[in-house]
Amino acid sequence: MALFEQLLHILQGPMVWIALGVFAAGLVVQSLRLWSYTRKNNPHTIGFAANPRIGEKNSRARRWVRRSGAIKTTALGASPVVTGVSIIFHIFLFITPLFLMGHNVLIHTATGIRLPSFSEPVSDVCTLTVLVCGLFFLLRRLLSRNVRALTSAYDLFLLLLVMLPFASGFLARHHLLIDYRQMILLHMAAGELMLIMIPFSKFFHMIFFFFGRFCIVSEYSLAAPKRIWQFHSRGAKQ
Amino acid sequence: MKQAGQVDPEPIQRILEKHKREIRMGLKVCAHCSLCAESCFIYAASKNPRHMPSYKFIHSIGRLQRKNARVSRAEMEKIRDMVWYDCVLCTRCYCPFGINIPSLIAMARQACRTQGLSREYEKDPIRPATDGNS
C-alpha cells in the first residue's frame, strides 16, 4: 500500500510538471526542427504549384468557391464519415481535458490561474464523444481491409493509450468498475505518458499536420503558405 | 525473369542517407489511416489495399530504410513492381497530413534504378497492375 501511495504522490505532483514540461519543450523543439527543414518558396519556381491562380488577388468569395471545389478531391470529399469523425475526435480530444472542471480546479490550486470550465454533464458528453469516436477508429482498424493492411500493434497501442485517460477519467468520476484512487492513478499515468509521447511518437502528426497543410505550398494547403520543404542540409540549396 | 544477382546495398544506402529526414518523417507521421486510398486511381480500379499510396511507400522506400537496403533481389523486384507497375507517379495521391508520397515513391524508383530495375516498356507494354501477392 505504501508503494501505491508513493506512486500516487509522484504521479500527482512532480510527474505532472515533468509531463507538461516534456510535452511543451518537445512541441517547441520539434516545431523548430521542422521549420529548419523548410525554406521560403521562390515565387518564380515553376512546378505543379505554378497554378495561374496562385499569386492572383482573389476575392474572399472566389477563394471559398475554389476551396469548396477542392474539398471534393480531399479526404473530406472521398471519405466524409471517417474525416468527419476524425475532426470531431481531434477537437474534443483537446477541449475536453482543457475545459474540465476537475483539471481547472487543480490548475487554480497550483498556479492561481482560473480557466473557463464546462459543467460536469457537458464534460461527460465531451468525454463520451471522444470514446465513441475512438471506438469507431478501433473497429475500423480491426475490420476495414484497407486499415488492417497498414495496422501494426503499435497503432492499436497508441489508439488505446489515447482512449485510456478519457475512459479512466469517466469511470473514476462516476466511481465505476474499480476503486476511485486506483482508477485515478491509471488516469494520470496514461495521460502523462500520452503527453510525453506526443512530440516523439506517431502522435507527432499533431505538429506535422500544421506544417504540411498550413505552412508548405501544396495543392491541398488549407491556407496560403509561402514555404517549401528543404530536407537536405542548408549548404546545398536547390 | 531478371538475371540472377545480388542487390548492391551501397548506392541505395546513399539515397537513403541523402533523404533520411524526409523518409523518417514520412514513416513517422503516417497514421496508417488509409484515407489516401481513394485518391489513387489504381486503387480505385482494383480496391486492393496493396495499391493504397501509403502501403506503397511504406513497403518500398520504408522497407529499404528499415532494412538499410539489405534486401534480396526478389524483394527488390517486388519493390520494383510496387513503384513502377502499381504506381505511375501521377502525383495525385492525397495525404491528410501533407506527406509528400510521390516524392517518397520517386526515391524508391531511384533505388530500383541503381539495381537496373525499372519498368520494361519494350517487354511489358501493357502489364496490368500486380495483385501484390506474387
So what's the ipTM on this one? Answer: 0.85
Kindly state the DSSP code that residue A40 receives in the 8-state scheme.
Answer: E
* Residue B32 burial (10 A CB sphere; 0-12, 13-18, 19+): buried
Whole-number pLDDT of residue A70: 67
- Residues A63-72 have a mean pLDDT of 70
Q: What average pLDDT is seen over chain B? A: 88
Does the distance separating the beta carbons of A229 and B22 come in below 8 Å? yes
Whole-number pLDDT of residue A196: 95
Q: What average pLDDT is seen over chain A? A: 86
- pLDDT-derived band at B47, boundaries 50, 70, 90: very high
Distance CA B85, CA B120 (A): 10
- Residues B64-70 have a mean pLDDT of 94
Instruction: Give percent of chain A with pLDDT exceeding 70.
Output: 87
Residue A203 Cα, gap to closest chain B Cα (Å): 8
Whole-number pLDDT of residue A58: 62
DSSP calls for chain B: -PPP----HHHHHHHHHHTHHHHHHHHHH-----TTGGG-HHHHHH--GGGSHHHHHHTTHHHHHHTTT---HHHHHHHHIIIIIS---------TT---HHHHHHHHHHHHHHTT-S--TTT-TTPPPP-S--
Dump pLDDT digits (tens) for A164-223: 999 999 999 898 888 888 899 999 999 999 999 999 999 999 999 998 888 888 877 777
B56 touches B109 (CB < 8 A) = no
CA distances from A39 to A34, A204, A226 (A): 10, 21, 9
Whole-number pLDDT of residue A157: 96
Residue B74 Cα, gap to closest chain A Cα (Å): 21
Strand A38-40 and strand A227-229: the pairing is antiparallel
Whole-number pLDDT of residue A229: 86
Q: How many CB pairs under 8 A join A and B?
A: 88
H/E stretch holding A229: strand A227-229
Whether pLDDT at A53 is above 80: no
Least CB-CB distance to A231: which of B22, B91, B94?
B22
Distance CA B120, CA B109 (A): 13
Residue B98 Cα, gap to closest chain A Cα (Å): 4
Whole-number pLDDT of residue A233: 62
Please identify which residue in the block is written with the cell numbers 537536405: A232
Kindly state the DSSP code that residue A216 receives in the 8-state scheme.
Answer: B
Residue, of B20 and B122, whose pLDDT is higher = B20
Dump pLDDT digits (tens) for A81-119: 999 999 999 999 999 999 999 899 988 988 888 889 999
Whole-number pLDDT of residue B129: 58
CA distances from A85 to A92, A134, A174, B32 (A): 11, 9, 26, 16
